[in-house]
Amino acid sequence: MAVRTRDGAAPPARSGEPARLRGARPRPPGRGAEFWWWAFMRVSGLVLVVLVIGHVLIMHVFGGGIDRVNFQFVAVRWQNPFWRTWDWLILSLATVHGINGLRVIILDYVRRPGARIAVTWLFYIVGILLFALGSIVVFTFDPSKWHA
């Protein structure tokens, strides 16, 4: 059976193959860009499990949840560079992990090449702009501007 590839993506696994049964993308062959994106999703995913579950438990579950979150709460929390770094790592890893996930999903569902490029780049641009906005705020935030 001929191997069908979609823009360098992994060939679709046939029903019954282990790759399909485990419910995930098979490892792309070789050491090209698709292999490194596949590897990035695993490495960033492992780091994000720790960072995001920690974030969710701290902000949404324990200590009263988001009802206690306001400007003053963020001002105190971001006095500590540890939490600024934690939040920025989630921002950067989750944005790239999520945008790449969307790219792989778009490869499956948007079949016309022009539309596929347009939708993929729309998300790239949204991701780049929001990553820039979030990074600027995390590293330049100074609550003393509003205490005077």
Partner 1 sequence: MAKRTSAFGRLYRGSEGQWSWIAHRVTGVAIILFLFAHIIDTALVGWGPNAYNRVVNVYKNPIVGLLELGLVAAVIYHALNGLRIMAIDFWPKLVDRNRQLIYATMTIYLAGMAPIAVIMIGHILKEHF
Point out which residues bind partner 1 (CB under 8 A). 15, 18, 20-24, 27, 42, 45-46, 48-49, 52-53, 56, 60-62, 64-67, 69-72, 74-75, 78, 87, 91, 94-95, 98-99, 101-102, 105, 126, 130-131, 133-134, 136-137, 140-141, 145-146
The 3-state secondary structure of 52-111 reads: HHHHHHHHHHHHHHHHHCCHHHHHHHCCCHHHHHHHHHHHHHHHHHHHHHHHHHHHHHCC
Q: Closest CB to partner 1 among 2 and 80? A: 80
Q: Closest CB to partner 1 among 2 and 42? A: 42
Q: Closest CB to partner 1 among 2 and 123? A: 123
- The H or E element spanning position 126 is helix 113-140
Minimum distance from CB of 49 to partner 1 (Å)? Answer: 5
Q: Looking up tokens 């490029």, which residue turns up?
A: 117
Query: What is the DSSP secondary structure assignment for residue 47, as one 8-state letter?
Result: H
Minimum distance from CB of 118 to partner 1 (Å)? Answer: 18
Q: Closest CB to partner 1 among 3 and 140? A: 140
Minimum distance from CB of 117 to partner 1 (Å)? Answer: 19
Minimum distance from CB of 112 to partner 1 (Å)? Answer: 20
Whole-number Å distance between alpha carbons of 127 and 23: 26
Name which of 48, 58, 28, 59 is nearest 95 in CA terms.
Answer: 48
